[in-house]
C-alpha cells in the first residue's frame, strides 16, 4: 500500500470576498506540480459562496463534473436547457463531453452556500453532453458507506463516463470498518468533510485528504463523528 497525505492547511486558497475557495489540486491561480491530479481525479474544490453570488456562464468540455452541496443550494443553468436548484443532500453530475456552457449561483440572498466541486477525467472523449441530479435521502445509511456514483447507469446513485465509484459515510465515533475496492488496480482518495478518522493508519481531520493505491482494502476507524467521502478512480 502506498499513500499521499494532503492536510487541509496545505491546499491552495483564494478569498475573493464573495468566494472563499480551497483547492486540493492545482486550479486557477494555484499551481503545484506535485499536486496536479490523483489518477483520474483532477479537481477537488471546497467552495464557500456568499448569498446571491456565483459563477457566470463559462465553458467546459471533456470532463465529468460532480457537485455536492454541503449547505445551502446551487442554482444551475446550462446550454442544454437545464435549469434547476440543487440542494444540500443532493448530488449533481454533468458530462461536458463535446462542450457545454453553464452558470452556478447561490439563489439564497441571506444564506452562504458551501459545496464540493469535483472533476474527473472521462474514459472517452467527445461524448454527448448530459446532466443529472439526484437526492441522496433514499440512498443514505447510518454508520455505513453508501454508493452515490458509479460507471453504471443502472446502479445506485448517479453515473459518469469513467470507472469510478464514490461513497459517502455518516459515521459515529468508535465505528470501525473497511472499504473494499471495486477494482484493486484503482486508486482511492479519502476526503474527511467533517470529523476525525484513522484511515490506512493515518490520522485525518476536517478537510484532510489521503490518496491510497496498491491495495485491495482500506481499514477505517472513526475518532469523532464524521462525514467522509471516498472516491475510487482509475490510478494511472
One digit per residue, the tens of pLDDT, for the chain of length 236 reads 999 999 999 999 999 999 999 999 999 999 999 999 999 999 999 999 999 999 988 999 999 999 999 999 999 998 989 888 999 999 999 999 999 999 999 999 999 999 999 999 999 999 999 999 999 998 999 999 999 999 999 999 999 999 999 999 999 999 999 999 999 999 999 999 999 999 999 999 999 999 999 999 999 999 999 999 999 999 87
CATH topology agreement for domains 11-135 and 145-234: yes
Write down the domain spans for the chain.
Answer: 11-135, 145-234
Kind of pairing between the strands at 2-6 and 19-23: unpaired
Q: Which residues of 8-20 are buried (b: 16+ CB within 10 A; e: fewer)?
A: beebbeeeeeebb
CATH class held by domain 11-135: mainly beta
How high is the pLDDT of residue 61? 96
pTM, two decimals, is 0.97
In a 10 Å sphere around its CB, with 0-12 CB exposed, 13-18 middle and 19+ buried, how is residue 92 labelled? Answer: buried
Q: What angle do CA 130, 235, 142 make, to 5 degrees?
A: 70
Q: How far apart are the first and last CA of the chain?
A: 15
CATH superfamily, domain at 145-234: Jelly Rolls (2.60.120.10)
Interatomic CA distance for residues 23 and 31, integer angstroms: 10
Amino acid at each position: 500500500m502506498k499513500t499521499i497525505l494532503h492536510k487541509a492547511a496545505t491546499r491552495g486558497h483564494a478569498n475573493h470576498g464573495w468566494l472563499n475557495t480551497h483547492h486540493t489540486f492545482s486550479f486557477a491561480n494555484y499551481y503545484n506540480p506535485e499536486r496536479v491530479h490523483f489518477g483520474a481525479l483532477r479537481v477537488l474544490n471546497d467552495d464557500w459562496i456568499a448569498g446571491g453570488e456565483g459563477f457566470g456562464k463559462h465553458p467546459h468540455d471533456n470532463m465529468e463534473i460532480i457537485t455536492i452541496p454541503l449547505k445551502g443550494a446551487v442554482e444551475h443553468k446550462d446550454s442544454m436547457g437545464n435549469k434547476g436548484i440543487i440542494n444540500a443532500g443532493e448530488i449533481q453530475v454533468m458530462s461536458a463531453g463535446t462542450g457545454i456552457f453553464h452558470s452556478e449561483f447561490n439563489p439564497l440572498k441571506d444564506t452562504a452556500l458551501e459545496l464540493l466541486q469535483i472533476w474527473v477525467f472521462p474514459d472517452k472523449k467527445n461524448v454527448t453532453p448530459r446532466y443529472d441530479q439526484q437526492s441522496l435521502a433514499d440512498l443514505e445509511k447510518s454508520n455505513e458507506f453508501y454508493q452515490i456514483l458509479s460507471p453504471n447507469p443502472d446502479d445506485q446513485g448517479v453515473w459518469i463516463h469513467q470507472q469510478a465509484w464514490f461513497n459517502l459515510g455518516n459515521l459515529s465515533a468508535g465505528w470501525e470498518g473497511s472499504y473494499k475496492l471495486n477494482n484493486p488496480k484503482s486508486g482511492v482518495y479519502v476526503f474527511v468533510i467533517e470529523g476525525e478518522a484513522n484511515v490506512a493508519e493515518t490520522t485525518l481531520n476536517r478537510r484532510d485528504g489521503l490518496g491510497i493505491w496498491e491495495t485491495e482494502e482500506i481499514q477505517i476507524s472513526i475518532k469523532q463523528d464524521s462525514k467522509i467521502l471516498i472516491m475510487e478512480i482509475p490510478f494511472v
